[in-house]
């Protein structure tokens, strides 16, 4: 019995054949255009193949909002099925060979089986995520008034112990990082001490850090508000930088794009964290109002381009030692999650490719001469380049789909897994 429907590689190849001629035409036209800008298109294709991003296990179902959720047929019933869906996204986009697990949501009784399943599918595990923002059944102490920063020692100890358990599970599946996001904060002035809560949080981080394996990284993720509406313990990059500096070298700051107030210059934050050697990675998504968890680049593609631009500069200066974790953190309420994640991977490839096209020499020269118009036009020249044939060629050469969403739809994937998973 077939446990899970998967898109056949022959089917994928057949679909690619239908559009490969048009792709080659578009690709060579772009190649000629880029050659006039002294850019070798093949080199960009090669560089783009190194861009990989992790799929969040929680993004494969319809997460919903606080007002409700509208489940889609065929949602994964367990973590193995989440891996199956991730493998399909990776098969088509060749950009998502990584999964980021969330504990306790992804708990299972056989982690070596989980690791084997991932290996079979060509997947491995990115950062593990702990959860002390909600209470679990049978839990001794409540996180209602906070977790790692809670005024009560017993609650903090429970939250630390949970993070240690997450690290232990991560070791079993071959992960090398843990992401700690806390919802701690207060809704009313006077409810908690602004200074003591931060001290307690850092002390708890120290406890987790002590258990961190030598080759692991710990990411701390800040967020300005929500669920706390007056004061959040780890609200901003400054607090995160302070905490990570105090805790240790392997403690880095994670930037979730949605975790900024409107108008925040995120690329400037990124540049500062790079300067401090404290940028650990990203939770990629987009937002219009607050932490909306919308599809990456759906609202502010130019902002994402400017962020990627900073990363490419840092990569040029620091070389191979500049390694970051790229993880998607989105919620899918309206879109088919698999389709949304395919779309996300394609958007990220596209924006990354645009950032790779930037003429750094020209930009630096314009900056040195205070040539504002030319500097901005240099950014726009790269950003406005239609890179879709380039990214499609990169996917095709890596064995993926020229038109991933088209192949996904044509395969009837959702309908087939809906039938299997209903059984």
Half-sphere exposure in the Cβ direction for 139 (13 Å, CA): 20
Nearer to Mn ion, 184 or 256 (CB): 256
- Residue 251: beta bridge partners? 218
Instruction: Write b or e for each residue in 306-339: b if 16 or more Cβ atoms lie within 10 A of its Cβ, otherwise e.
Output: bbbbbbbbbbeeeeeebebbbbbbbbbbebbbbb
Instruction: Say which residues have a Cβ less than 8 Å from residue 366's Cβ, sequence separation at least 6.
Output: 372, 374, 375, 378
Cα 250 to Cα 218, 233, 235, 253, 272, distances in angstroms: 6, 21, 21, 10, 18
Cα-to-chain-centroid distance, residue 31:
30
Cα 230 to Cα 65, 155, 188, 319, distances in angstroms: 21, 22, 6, 41
Residue 234: CB minimum distance to Mn ion, A: 12
Length of the chain: 423
Nearer to Mn ion, 98 or 363 (CB): 98
Residue 223: CB minimum distance to Mn ion, A: 8
Residue 295: CB minimum distance to Mn ion, A: 15
Residue 5: CB minimum distance to Mn ion, A: 30
- Residue 177: beta bridge partners? 217
Asked if residue 411 lies in contact with residue 16, where contact means CB atoms within 8 angstroms, the answer is: no
Residue span 204-243 as binding mask against Mn ion, x where in contact by CB under 5 A, dash where not: ----------------------------------------
Nearer to Mn ion, 126 or 329 (CB): 329
Give the count of residues interacting with Mn ion (CB under 5 A).
3
**291 near Mn ion (CB under 5 A):** no
Reported in sequence order, the residue ranges of 217-305 that DSSP labels E, i.e. its strands, are 217-221, 231-232, 251-256, 279-284
Nearer to Mn ion, 278 or 414 (CB): 278
Nearer to Mn ion, 179 or 391 (CB): 179
**329 near Mn ion (CB under 5 A):** yes
Residue 167: CB minimum distance to Mn ion, A: 19
Closest CA to 402 of 57, 25, 34: 25
In sign, the C-alpha dihedral spanning 293, 85, 63, 226 is negative
Nearer to Mn ion, 102 or 156 (CB): 102
Nearer to Mn ion, 7 or 255 (CB): 255
Residue 137: CB minimum distance to Mn ion, A: 24
Reported in sequence order, the residue ranges of 71-142 that DSSP labels E, i.e. its strands, are 98-100, 124-125, 128-129
Whole-number Å distance between alpha carbons of 379 and 374: 9
Cα 269 to Cα 113, 231, 264, 307, 311, distances in angstroms: 40, 21, 9, 9, 12
**192 near Mn ion (CB under 5 A):** no
Residue span 247-286 as binding mask against Mn ion, x where in contact by CB under 5 A, dash where not: ---------x--------------------------x---
Token pair for residue 288?
A: 């219009």
Nearer to Mn ion, 256 or 347 (CB): 256
Nearer to Mn ion, 255 or 363 (CB): 255
Nearer to Mn ion, 48 or 128 (CB): 128
Residue 319: CB minimum distance to Mn ion, A: 28
Residue 181: CB minimum distance to Mn ion, A: 6
Nearer to Mn ion, 278 or 283 (CB): 283
Token pair for residue 216?
A: 């692991």
Please choose, out of 150-158, 228-236, 321-329, 413-421, the segment that lies near Mn ion by the rule CB under 5 A. Answer: 321-329
Token pair for residue 258?
A: 């949605």
Instruction: Say which residues have a Cβ less than 8 Å from residue 236's Cβ, sequence separation at least 6.
Output: 222, 224
Residue 146: CB minimum distance to Mn ion, A: 18
Please choose, out of 264-272, 292-300, 314-322, 325-333, the segment that lies near Mn ion by the rule CB under 5 A. Answer: 325-333
Please choose, out of 70-78, 229-237, 322-330, 413-421, the segment that lies near Mn ion by the rule CB under 5 A. Answer: 322-330
Residue 348: CB minimum distance to Mn ion, A: 16
Residue 329: CB minimum distance to Mn ion, A: 4
Cα-to-chain-centroid distance, residue 77:
22
Residues near Mn ion (CB under 5 A) are 256, 283, 329
């Amino acid at each position: 019995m077939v446990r899970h429907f998967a898109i056949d590689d022959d089917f994928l190849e057949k679909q690619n054949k239908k559009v490969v001629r048009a792709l080659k035409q578009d690709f060579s036209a772009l190649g000629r255009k880029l050659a006039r800008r002294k850019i070798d298109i093949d080199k960009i294709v090669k560089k783009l193949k190194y861009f990989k991003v992790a799929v969040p296990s929680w993004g494969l179902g319809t997460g919903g909002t606080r007002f409700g959720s509208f489940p889609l047929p065929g949602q994964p019933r367990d973590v193995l099925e989440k891996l199956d869906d991730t493998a399909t996204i990776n098969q088509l986009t060749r950009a998502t060979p990584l999964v980021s697990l969330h504990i306790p949501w992804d708990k299972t009784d056989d982690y070596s089986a989980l690791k084997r399943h991932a290996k079979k599918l060509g997947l491995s595990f990115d950062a593990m995520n702990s959860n002390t923002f909600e209470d679990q059944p049978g839990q001794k102490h409540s996180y209602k008034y906070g977790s790692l920063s809670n005024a009560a020692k017993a609650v903090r100890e429970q939250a630390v112990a949970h993070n240690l358990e997450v690290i232990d599970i991560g070791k079993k599946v071959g992960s090398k990082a843990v992401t700690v996001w806390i919802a701690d904060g207060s809704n009313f002035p006077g409810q908690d001490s602004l200074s003591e809560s931060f001290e307690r949080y850092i002390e708890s981080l120290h406890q987790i850090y002590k258990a961190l394996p030598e080759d692991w990284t710990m990411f701390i993720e800040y967020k300005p508000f929500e669920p706390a509406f007056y004061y959040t313990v780890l609200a901003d990059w400054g607090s995160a930088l302070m905490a990570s500096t105090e805790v240790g070298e392997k403690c880095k700051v994670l930037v979730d794009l949605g975790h900024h107030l409107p108008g925040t210059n995120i690329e400037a934050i990124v540049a500062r964290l790079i300067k401090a050697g404290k940028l650990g990675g990203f939770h990629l998504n987009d937002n219009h109002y607050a932490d909306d968890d919308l599809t990456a680049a759906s609202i502010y593609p130019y902002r994402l381009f400017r962020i990627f631009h900073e990363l490419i500069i840092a990569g040029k200066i620091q070389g191979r030692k500049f390694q970051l974790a790229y993880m998607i953190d989105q919620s899918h309420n309206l879109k088919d999650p698999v389709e949304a994640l395919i779309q996300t991977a394609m958007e990220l490839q596209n924006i990354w490719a645009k950032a790779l096209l930037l003429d750094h020499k020209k930009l630096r020269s314009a900056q040195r001469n205070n040539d504002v118009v030319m500097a901005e036009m240099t950014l726009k020249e790269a950003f406005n380049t239609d890179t879709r044939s380039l990214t499609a060629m990169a996917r095709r050469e890596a064995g993926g789909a020229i038109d991933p969403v088209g192949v996904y739809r044509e395969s009837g994937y959702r309908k087939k897994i809906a039938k299997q998973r209903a059984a």
